[in-house]
Structure 1
Amino acid sequence: MARISALVEDVRRVLRARHYSVRTEGVYLGWIKRFILANRLRHPADMGQREVEAFLTRLAVEGQVASSTQNQALSALLFLYRDVLRARMDWMEDVVRAKRARKLPVVLAGEEVRLLLAQLDGRAWLLASVLYGTGMRLMECLRLRVKDVDFARGEITVRDGKGGKDRRTVLPRSLVEPLQLEVERARILHASDLAAGFGAVWLPHALARKYINGPREFAWQYVFPARNRSLDPRDDTERRHHVDAEFVSRALKQARNRAAIDKPVTAHTLRHSFATHLLEAGYDIRTIQELLGHKDVATTQIYTHVLNRGPNAVRSPLDR
């Protein structure tokens, strides 16, 4: 057990040295622990191709997990063997990843978005409105810093998005005043934290060393701070994090039920709806690609398939 505990700490150390997010750290450690438990606490260094392939097969056959889940487990094990154990195992690169099914995104109609937002209020309404109005991913929205909201230019800068890329997206005019009020609430909360001897927010990578006073500056604070301070799992420091993602998920689920919308609704559904509604409004697909932060325009083109199934695209011969 001591050997396995040491391995888990090694995995955590390498993940943090390479600036993986806390969420990814938790997911990777979870899969590695499941792999070890599935093999009766054997150390991964004493296992190989047979055990890895058997584990992935059990996930698919017995667990009936989605292809994305199986690939996530494979990525965790690849990281373990390649980056932590430094094992020279060419077979790891040959392990076949599960083929992901091509699925069309769930998109809400404009009226459905209106009904959904009408069932929300306060911070839940603002977060959902920002997600739909900007096309940001959920964690991009929650990790938004005060300095990255430009009210004068009407734009939001998304820092370190998917793939480690920065981009700019639109700031809806209708959200300027509500967001300004939210920033002022964050300012008051930050002032109270400073007065209590806290107020230092977490900064990514080496920015905390580069900007010594940065963590306590208001510009670096989250636009949507959590109501209470908590211990940071990275270093056990008490600080104020951003609002929890589960808060948004619960609020959307409850609003969907109250609005009697039969489609599944998540934060990503609002992002899909943002892109589709821009296409319907006639905006160029390259512009939408930039706003969404897609690396390849082929990813953005999936929304054209959604349009082709809509009432204003292909006309059924029955209706002629």
Structure 2
Amino acid sequence: MSSPFIEQLRADMRLRGYSLRTEKSYLGWVRQYIFFHKKQHPKNLGSNEVREFLSWLANERHVAINTQKTALNALVYLYHKALGITLGDLNFSLATKQRQLPVVLSPHEVMSILSQLAGRNRLVVELLYGSGLRISEALSLRVQDVNLENLSLTIRDGKGKKDRQTLLSERLIPQIKEAISAALKVQANDNSSGVGPSLPSALDRKYPNAFKQPGWMFIFPSSSLCAHPYTGVLCRHHFHSSVIRKALKPAVIQAKVFKKVNCHTFRHSFATHLLQSGCDIRTVQELLGHNDVKTTQIYTHVIGQHYAGTSSPLDNLAFPSTPFPSMKEPSKIP
């Protein structure tokens, strides 16, 4: 498939205001779809070919249902919006949906992991747990998003255009102030060279000097300059999420936490611990930014609230009070 078609799709998505992550994801699925059908142009294909591709993902690739949904959304965009072709009822094979409970850390495990981190890396992870942020939301924080008086953070949702506010731990005020001060020094140095933080689309054209305003500076700036992916203008973005992931892995090992822990685990732990402390589920939903309370309800399964008032039948047996025998070490294999 010729690259001009892909570039045309890219330009169309930017015109419609799609995020960079969505753009990369959709273009990737469109490429896979085209290669699956031996590089035929999508306008020469239709609902049968889309159904065949989505069913192949489920039956041969065994992808998760959310992965299949993303591929479907990409192809719906391709046909309905870009090509203006109606697909109709696809009736494809659905990927198997399996409910997996999120991994949640105990407060002690959170403390153990945090104790293995320091400086900027620790502050970011503390924001993930203390404010329930996604890693992308924490790194995208700008100076103007922090309200130290009200102890709140404003999360800018570039995807759904729905901003929200969440909590800011009072314990983090000194570290946040220090991070802001360091970021503003970086901005001042950049401004002397005529550059500044990367800005939302079209803002730099509407307000040419916005890059000099402290409010637009990232709290966690990158160590190097880069070209803006849309405009090509030299700017400074926030640092990449891989920095935190690389720091988190050895911290989990050193803390001797034997769970599958990633950055999102701290957001799960934030929600679960709030519910355990008596916070109502609607408040947790707003703090997390979930559109549907059903998404938030998964955490009630983690803490067992869906079994309210129910106890194990083993607890009702009248066992005599006897000490538990010590466990013998397993015999060694000769």
The two structures have a TM-score, normalised by structure 1, of 0.91
Distance 1:127 1:314, change over 3 A: farther
Paired position in structure 1 for 2:259: 263
- The one-letter amino acid of 2:192's match is A
Residue correspondence of structure 1 range 267-306 to structure 2 within 5 A: 267-306=263-302
Paired position in structure 2 for 1:36: 34
Paired position in structure 1 for 2:330: none
Aligned length: 316
Aligned CA RMSD, in angstroms, stands at: 2.2
Residue correspondence of structure 1 range 190-229 to structure 2 within 5 A: 190-199=187-196, 201-229=197-225
Q: Which of 134, 141, 149 is residue 144 of structure 1 equivalent to?
A: 141
Q: CA deviation at 1:34?
A: 1.3
Q: CA deviation at 1:285?
A: 1.7
Q: Confirm or deny that 1:160 pairs with 2:194.
A: no
Q: Is the 8 A contact 1:116 1:259 kept in 2?
A: yes
Residue correspondence of structure 1 range 88-99 to structure 2 within 5 A: 88-91=86-89, 98=95
Q: CA deviation at 1:96?
A: 6.3
Sequence identity percentage: 44
- Give deviations 1:191-246, integer Å, cap 9, x for gaps: 111122211x3322443344332233121111111111112221222211111111
Q: CA deviation at 1:253?
A: 2.2
Distance 1:18 1:154, change over 3 A: same
Q: Is the 8 A contact 1:140 1:161 kept in 2?
A: no
Paired position in structure 2 for 1:170: 167
The two structures have a TM-score, normalised by structure 2, of 0.88
State the secondary structure of the residue aligned to 1:163: coil
- The one-letter amino acid of 1:221's match is M
- Give deviations 1:148-174, integer Å, cap 9, x for gaps: 101122111111266321111111011
Residue correspondence of structure 1 range 303-318 to structure 2 within 5 A: 303-308=299-304, 315-318=311-314
CA distance in 1 between counterparts of 2:309 and 2:241 reads 35
Distance 1:88 1:113, change over 3 A: same
Gaps of 5+ in 1: none
Paired position in structure 2 for 1:6: 4
CA distance in 1 between counterparts of 2:272 and 2:249 reads 21
Q: CA deviation at 1:101?
A: 2.7
- The one-letter amino acid of 1:45's match is K
**Higher Rg:** 2
- Give deviations 1:239-288, integer Å, cap 9, x for gaps: 11111111122222222222222211122111110011111111122221
Distance 1:318 1:40, change over 3 A: same
Q: CA deviation at 1:299?
A: 1.9
- The one-letter amino acid of 2:176's match is L
Paired position in structure 1 for 2:322: none
Which structure carries more helix by proportion?
1
Paired position in structure 2 for 1:60: 58
